[in-house]
Amino acid sequence: MKTALVCGAGGFIGGHLVQKLKDEEYWVRGVDIKQHEYRETAADEFLQLDLREEANCIQALTLGDGTFDEVYQLAADMGGMGFIHSAECEIMHNSVLINIHMTHHAARLGVPRYFFSSSVCVYRDMQPGEPEMTEAEAIPANPDNEYGWEKLYSERMAQAYERNQGMTVRIARFQNCYGPYGTWTGGREKAPAAICRKVAEAEDGGTVEVWGDGTAVRSYTYVADMVDGIYRLMHSDLQGAVNIGCPEYVTVDELVRTVAEVAGKTINIKHIDGPVGVQSRNFSNERIYSTGWQAKYFLKDGIAQNYPWIEEQVKKARGES
């Protein structure tokens, strides 16, 4: 039986990844600073550890007399645009500490395969209509936020360990990911979850507030597609960073209209000031396509899976179910 360590297993994508690895018949240890808020872990063992602490990273990585066949490092101080713009120091400090210790000790303990979850936030801003950007075009670098700079640094650190210490490293740059069991309220939620919540809270014919003018372009990747991409990438021979994202690009207003359609509500949009991030995105997926990966969920299909779960959370929070 193969063994895997998933760091960030108490979080959104990590929780889904643990389930995927169990479906593939791995023995899985999950690690996180907190328990999962919305579901029981599917991991065989769950350790609650603060991975900013070096000793905790060593504990997480140690299995009997050895270590794991595969390590998936998804732990990060993480949130949507509101969090990214207000918590620059926490992101730069906490996530880099986790990655420094995890990468160093994984290589030292002889982990054969190490996965690092990066982000398309490493890229510069784009204008609508620009041709696709490939992974190599992240350099020369000009990320729009500190979260992107931290990811770029941690990518390069992992690659340095691959070159110098022989640990196979796989790096995914995720586009925006959404789905059930993700943060949907509290300030760290990302745009799809925030919009689903606002629409669930609104009356039919009501209004939701949207940060910015609604024209920012994004791609949204359903979580089942994301974990499929992670798994395929981990078992591929693709060195260097690899974009994973649904090739459907929509504006924020189109995202709201899709959620409203799935909810069966007429919703008006009110644009207000707020952190928006970059204007546009358009990335090549050729590298991940070479593994046989394709997005199975386009936005409306994924929102149809996600919205009912968030609507249920909203009702529970209001004491309605």
Kindly tell me which residue out of 70, 77, 189, 225 binds ligand NAD, with binding defined by CB under 6 A. Answer: 77
C-beta of residue 74 within 8 angstroms of C-beta of residue 7: yes
Given 72, 123, 147, 161, the catalytic residue: 147
Site for ligand NAD contains 192 (CB under 6 A):
no
- Residue appearing with tokens 């645009």: 81
Angle at CA 80, nearest 5°, toward 158 and 208?
Answer: 160
Site for ligand NAD in 43-72 (CB under 6 A): 50-52
Tell which one of 13, 61, 138, 199 touches ligand NAD (CB under 6 A). Answer: 13
Nearer to ligand NAD, 4 or 273 (CB): 4
Q: Which is nearer to ligand NAD, 10 or 143 (CB)?
A: 10
Give the nearer residue to ligand NAD in terms of CB position, either 76 or 255.
Answer: 76
Q: Which two tokens stand for residue 49?
A: 């550890």
Among 174, 222, 249, 309, binds ligand NAD (CB under 6 A): 174
Q: How far apart are CA 265 and CA 257, in angstroms?
A: 9
Does residue number 34 form part of the binding site for ligand NAD (CB under 6 A)?
yes
Please answer whether residues 137 and 123 qualify as being in contact, where contact means their C-beta atoms are separated by less than 8 angstroms: yes
Q: Which residue is nearest to ligand NAD (CB)?
A: 11
Give least dist CB 72 to ligand NAD, A: 10
Q: Which of 9, 99, 8 is nearest to 52 (CA)?
A: 99
Contact 31, 58 (CB under 8 A): no
Residues in the interface with ligand NAD (CB under 6 A) total 26
- Region binding ligand NAD by CB under 6 A among candidate stretches 30-38, 204-212, 235-243, 311-319: 30-38
Per CB under 6 A, the segment of 171-179, 242-250, 263-271, 295-303 that binds ligand NAD is 171-179
Question: Residue 6 CB: number of other CB atoms within 10 A?
Answer: 34
User: Which residues, numbered 110-169, are part of the site for ligand NAD (CB under 6 A)?
Assistant: 117, 119
The answer to whether 147 is a known catalytic residue is yes
Quick one: three-class SS letters along 169-233?
EEEEEECEEECCCCCCCCCCCCHHHHHHHHHHHCCCCCEEEEECCCCCEEEEEEHHHHHHHHHHH
Q: How many CA atoms lie within 13 A of 292 on its CB side?
A: 7
> Interface with ligand NAD by CB under 6 A: which residues?
8, 10-14, 32-34, 50-52, 74-78, 94, 98, 117, 119, 174, 176-177, 183, 190
**What residues are labeled active site?**
147
